[in-house]
Structure 1
Amino acid sequence: MSTNAATTRATPAPAGTPAELATLHELPPPPAVSYAPQTAGWAVLAIVLAACALWGAWAGWRRHRKERYRRVALAELERIEARLAQADQRGAALTAIAPLLKRTALAVAPRERVASLTGDAWLAFLRETHGRFGAQSGALLAVVSYAPAERIAAISREEAAALVDEARDWIAHHHVEV
């Protein structure tokens, strides 16, 4: 018998309580409810959720490793963009954009498919894999790739900024079918 029930019986009923009610006592509280799963289904669900969480973490880690070349290329493009702000570095910075795009493409596409591409074939590849390089930016990419230093130095800041923006967009969003 619990102490609560013993004290309830020993306590006299208040005056004026009918005789039938005077003999009643408080019921003991039920035992505490367990928070542990009561069926095997919950255990199976916990195992499935843990497996899904592990698979998701593994897939995220793989994707993070697989996309490293993008992060490296975008960081290099930021350094190129910082060099564009310096007048004495503009020409060298502009000529570094085309090789950066080529190295980025080589990191993900088969070498046989990408390494020999130049001119219109290279621009077609860039458009095919993301589609943003237009006629103006394509021509500008050809200029910074092959033109003499005087012609590269004549490129305006706006044109250079547009080329950097399109290069950034391509690096961040391209998708090459292997």
Structure 2
Amino acid sequence: MSVAASASPLTPANTSLALQPLKELPLPAPVSWAPQTPGWLAVALAMLAIAMWIGWIAWRRHQRERYRKIALAELDAIAARLNDASRRDAALAAIAPLIKRTALAAAPRERVASLTGDAWLAFLARTRGQFDTRSGALLSFLSYAPPSELGAVSQHDAEALVGHARDWIRNHHVEI
């Protein structure tokens, strides 16, 4: 070690003596979260109002579309019963009333309740129904078929009808 290094003014003994007269720096006051000017308060209130308006619109839409979720859940239960031979006929008989109830939830009763046959199928087609000729005929048949004739419906036709019904429930749009 050299002599210059040992005579340094910043040795530990000299450093503590040099720091003793120093005092702690005062900290600034904590920053307030409240807006400092009325303009920011107005912006915050406007943003709150917009958020509440968007939430209200989303809630209304959820309430308006709730019948679709209920109908789809019921259709899933019907589709599950189609695979059980003892409950198949009751499941087939439940498809047409489910579609009618769903249409009644979406459209005014005066426009839907009295529709049958070709007028009913035309309404389903106008409201974005993708029922092909065979599924449409099967839907008309199931609306009024006696329980003894439901066994004649093939599993393939029943599954196709359930698929078309599911598509209609998800995608229908009724002009009011």
Q: TM-score, normalised by structure 2?
A: 0.77
Q: Aligned partners of 1:140, 1:29: CA distance in 2, in Å?
A: 85
1:115 partner letter:
A
1:103 to 101, 110, 133: 101
**Unmatched segments (≥5 aa) in structure 2:** 1-17
2:89 to 71, 88, 91: 91
Q: Aligned partners of 1:112, 1:76: CA distance in 2, in Å?
A: 25
1:177 alignment partner, SS class = coil
Q: TM-score, normalised by structure 1?
A: 0.76
1:147 to 145, 148, 153: 145
Match of 1:72 in 2: 70
- Offset of 1:144 from its aligned partner? 1.6
**8 A Cα contact 1:140 1:163, kept in partner:** yes
1:134 to 132, 135, 141: 132
Q: Aligned partners of 1:8, 1:46: CA distance in 2, in Å?
A: 48
Match of 1:115 in 2: 113
1:56 to 29, 54, 57: 54
**Unmatched segments (≥5 aa) in structure 1:** 1-6, 12-27
Q: Aligned partners of 2:45, 2:129: CA distance in 1, in Å?
A: 44
- Offset of 1:38 from its aligned partner? 3.3
**8 A Cα contact 2:129 2:164, kept in partner:** no
How many percent identity over aligned positions?
Answer: 59
- Offset of 1:139 from its aligned partner? 1.2
